[in-house]
Amino acid sequence: MNFEFFISKRLISAKDYKSSISAPIIKIAVSAIAIGVIMMLVSVATGVGLQQKIRDKIAAFNGHISISNLDNNNSQDSRVPISTDQDFYPEFDEINGINHIQAVATKYGIIRTETDFEGIVVKGVGPDYRWDYLQEYLVEGKLPSYNKEDYGKEILISQYLANRLGFTLNDKVVIYFMGDSAEDRPRLTAFTISGIFNSGFQDFDETYLIADINQIQRLNKWKKNEVGNFEIFIDDFTQIDKKGGEVYQHIDSFLDAKTIKQAYPSIFEWLSLFDFNIALIIGIMIIVAGINMITALLVLILERTQMIGMLKALGSTDWSVRKIFLYNAGYLILKGLFWGNLFGLGLLFLQKYFKLIPLNPETYYVTEAPVYIGLQYVLLINIGTLLLCLLMLLIPSYIITKISPAKSIKFE
């Protein structure tokens, strides 16, 4: 082993090959490994990051699973209430993996100013509302605080609506609410803007406004124990389909449970395409890197034909000579991995902390390219690239077994 390692070190020494014909080919092979690693790291980090960011934004406004009354017919306006006197509320103990459940209600409204008006959906929330999802999107002001007794006047409005209608922090906002029938006169309620958020998700920013659920109950003439629907948050998003089915089995027959994947199928079908794209990029990069390494290895073998013959004449086996060249190839692969990780992770950290690459929120639902840097996938890319490239090199290294010591020593 020490002899083989010494020979491989000699084979790959800078002094030994920089002036040889294999030097540019080796540089190209190392560069191909590095570029391939950069592409794989960027594709996985941005693909997974975008998936997670969009999932979190949808969950921030809808939860992972929503329980509503079947009579509401999937309407965003909660017309038929649900009693909070349920076995699953306020704790859904029957199912593992559920970390939070909250009661909410929604109602259509119209914001009217002196020069403009805008139709919106007012989402009423209570003391059990999970604010941590919206906290990161808060750009100005503070989150409102609601309790069960008072009718809170503070609201949370999106930056999109505030800019469109000319509102600023602490402004008064008058919202007109439609009655249950055409004959009912609109009811108006004045609120104060306590905070402004920007989720970057255009569909939600131009639609939702957060208010006190007590106001929705008052406008709908509901009791204090009546709400529009329940939102459930789970621990593991990969289990959302399974948990959605379990929730449906544990609720009454007049209630319906729907996951956000069912509520927004087009978005999640689009997100699923990222998995295929990531796999395709990784496959192409590994094939390109492998082909370049095969080329470099064949050139090294041809360039060291006399050395191979001498080693065989001294009693080395075919496999021991093959291992020398595989050690050499492994070193070159590791060199490419080093530079690929250095530049790839450097680019990702720059994007993560300095937001250098913006995106159109109307197309991608985010304002900048999100980045997810996970140790597990970085290690998997590096180890997988090393092993797959070495496996690809086993076949071309077989040519060493066909080299005759007698002929190769005479080879010029």
For the cut 60, the answer to whether the pLDDT of residue 265 exceeds it is yes
Hey, which bits of 42-186 come out as E strands? 65-69, 82-83, 98-112, 117-125, 138-141, 154-158, 172-177
Mean pLDDT of the chain: 88
How many of the other CB atoms lie within 10 Å of CB of 357? 12
Cis ω on the peptide bond leading into residue 90 (within 30° of 0)? yes
* pLDDT at position 310: 80
Average pLDDT (304-321) is 82
pLDDT given for residue 149 in this prediction: 82
Nearest to 196 by CA among 176, 171, 215: 171
Comparing 80-84, 111-115, 153-157, the range with the smallest average pLDDT is: 111-115
> What is the pLDDT, as a whole number, of residue 324?
84
| CA-to-CA separations, 95 to 98, 259, 386, in angstroms, rounded | 7, 15, 42
| Residue 169: DSSP 8-state | T
For 30-73, the pLDDT digits (tens) are 999 999 999 999 999 999 999 999 999 999 899 999 999 988 76
pLDDT higher for 353 or 300? Answer: 353
Query: Which residues, including other chains, have CB under 8 Å from residue 143's CB and lie 6 or more apart?
Result: 131, 134, 135, 156, 194, 195
Confidence of residue 14 (pLDDT cuts 50, 70, 90): very low
Closest of 154, 158, 265 to residue 214, by C-alpha:
154
Residue in 333, 325, 322 with CA at minimum distance from that of residue 387: 333
- Rounded Cα distance between 305 and 300, Å, is 9
> What is the Cα–Cα distance from 68 to 78, expressed in whole angstroms?
9
State the pTM of this model: 0.84
Residue 325 has pLDDT above 70, yes or no: yes
Q: Which residues contact 181 (CB under 8 A, 6 or more apart)?
A: none
Residues 6+ apart with CB under 8 A from 294: 392, 393, 396
Could you give the CA distance from residue 225 to residue 277 in angstroms, rounded to a whole number? 48
396 secondary structure, DSSP code: G
Q: Tell me what pLDDT residue 15 has.
A: 44
Band (pLDDT 50/70/90 cuts) for residue 241 is very high
Provide the β-strand partners of residue 177. Answer: 109, 187
pLDDT of residue 301: 84
Residue found by looking up tokens 């289990």 in the block? 239
CA distances from 162 to 53, 98, 106, 126, 133 (A): 23, 35, 20, 23, 20
What percent of the chain shows pLDDT beyond 70? 92
Instruction: Measure Cα distances from 280 to 33, 39, 308, 372 in Å.
Output: 16, 11, 38, 19
SS (H, E, C) 278-301: HHHHHHHHHHHHHHHHHHHHHHHH
- Residue in the structure block whose two tokens are 């009454």: 252
Residues composing the chain: 412
Q: Taking Cα atoms as reference points, which of 150, 164, 162, 266 lies closest to residue 209?
A: 162
CA 84 to CA 228: how far, in whole Å?
10
More confident residue, 272 or 363: 272
- Residue 119 backbone dihedrals phi, psi, to 5 degrees: -80, 135
Strand partners, 258: 66
Backbone dihedral angles phi then psi of residue 260, each to the nearest 5 degrees: -70, -20
Residue 38: Cβ within 10 Å count: 21
Q: Would the pLDDT of 9 be above 70?
A: no
Quick: pLDDT tens for 188-237.
Answer: 999 999 999 998 888 889 999 999 999 999 999 999 999 999 999 999 99
The residues with which 68 forms a beta bridge, in sequence order, are 229, 256
Q: What is the mean pLDDT of residues 117-123?
A: 93
Choice among 5-14, 185-194, 259-268 with the minimum mean pLDDT: 5-14
Rounded CA separation 256/249 (Å)? 10
Q: Give first-to-last CA distance, the chain, whole Å.
A: 29
pLDDT value at position 410?
61
Q: Quick one: pLDDT at residue 8?
A: 52
Q: How confident is the model at residue 408, as a pLDDT?
A: 66
384 Cβ contact list (under 8 Å, min separation 6): 286
Q: What is the pLDDT of residue 217?
A: 94
pLDDT at 2 (0 to 100): 55
Query: What pLDDT does 409 receive?
Result: 66
Tokens 């905070």 identify what position? 195
Residue 358 tokens read as 């913006």
